[in-house]
Structure 1
């Protein structure tokens, strides 16, 4: 756990699962609610229940880790993300559900959240959610429903994420942010870019987490995604409540 973070024992945070309850904490969403998010016809119902705090959640008790910098979710929205992932839910829906859970995690910790949708080189869409104010529901829905299409580039979204963390450090003195890559594809990066990326990572002290969605090969130890990440998981890991709680506990 990065220096400067604090951990405390609290109820209703990711950890030991003790039951089911109602609320709006997306990091504890049960699978059936996740499936509703994956169906376009039910997304409006999901949004209404989210706004009313009536989603079905795992009730849990555990440690809550609070970082200092922003949480940035880089969500792959290339064409292949339309394909089915675990349980027949689209890869896009899995990625967006994870990103929304991270948004909720950041909000509860008072941290800024940024969602970066990406696909081909130079093609991104950035959604900012400051930690000092409630997340606008319409903006959250826009983030969840937007899709770019096209190919896949790691350099474009990660460069944007790194620049946002640098701006945060320069403007507010906050370091040690967290970047989460949610993708179903592996792609190359240049040696020069990798060098500058590692320099920025060392200077700003941020961590990079990866979630491989629907493609086991990119979760392997010889993948580019693995080389970029401090912690790489497969989306299948997150179908286990305890594994999901473990991931969200450290972000």
Structure 2
């Protein structure tokens, strides 16, 4: 099992319960990575070009670092391209070449076909998976934009946060 890159949607549409669910899943994944001596990156994202990355190198971060990440909320619109570009940068430049991606969002965005093609090419070369966690407890049934690039999708409307994390671990993330 390699490192984990977690992309967390912090757009206005996730405010409230969805944001709390997303943070809970992300921070639980951080704990799982830490217990396995794995690196973890949390890519907070919202509008195009707007993201913040918190790097948690195994054994090299504090409780304050985790609290700072938990308190972040960017607000604004939603762009899936921005966090995916950042994830690829982390794989190329920051030592996350063996990472898989967990993508947490309410699913309200579309990616251009040219970007999806490029992303699929990178996946074929780097052999990483993208697992989606759909924050749909308030609007079950929606998954249209995550289906285009996630190999697996878990829904908060169907599973509790602990069940989602258990499934992520079982499937190798």
Q: Any conservation in 2 of the 1:218–1:225 contact (CA below 8 Å)?
A: no
Q: Any conservation in 2 of the 1:71–1:113 contact (CA below 8 Å)?
A: yes
* Partner residue of 1:185 out of 107, 116, 121: 107
| Counterparts of 1:167 and 1:181, CA distance in 2 | 20
C-alpha distance after superposition, 1:14-72 (max 9, x if no partner): xxxxxxxxxxxxxxxxxxxxxxxxxxxxxxxxxxxxxxxxxxxxxxxxxxxxx12x201
Change (3 A) 1:111 1:192: same
Where 1:179 maps in the other structure, the secondary structure is strand
| Counterparts of 1:240 and 1:101, CA distance in 2 | 9
Q: Is 2:118 the counterpart of 1:118? A: no
Q: CA deviation at 1:107?
A: 0.9
Q: Any conservation in 2 of the 1:165–1:177 contact (CA below 8 Å)?
A: yes
- Structure with more relative contact order (C-alpha pairs < 8 Å, separation 6 or more): 2
Q: CA deviation at 1:134?
A: 4.6
Unaligned residue ranges in structure 2 (runs of 5+): none
Q: Any conservation in 1 of the 2:5–2:42 contact (CA below 8 Å)?
A: yes
Question: TM (normalized to structure 1)?
Answer: 0.63
Change (3 A) 1:119 1:130: same
C-alpha distance after superposition, 1:197-249 (max 9, x if no partner): 11111111111000110233433xxx120121011010134317555422222
Matches within 5 A, 1:23-34: none
| Counterparts of 1:231 and 1:208, CA distance in 2 | 7
Where 2:166 maps in the other structure, the secondary structure is helix
Where 2:79 maps in the other structure, the secondary structure is coil
State the partner residue of 2:72.
146
C-alpha distance after superposition, 1:162-213 (max 9, x if no partner): 1211225xx5xx6442111111132111121111111111111111000110
Q: Is 2:163 the counterpart of 1:236? A: no
Higher helix proportion, which one?
Answer: 1
Unaligned residue ranges in structure 1 (runs of 5+): 1-66, 84-89
* Partner residue of 2:140 out of 216, 219, 222: 216
State the partner residue of 1:75.
8
Higher strand proportion, which one?
Answer: 1
User: Higher Cα Rg: structure 1 or 2?
Assistant: 1
Q: Any conservation in 2 of the 1:177–1:205 contact (CA below 8 Å)?
A: no
| Counterparts of 1:129 and 1:178, CA distance in 2 | 15
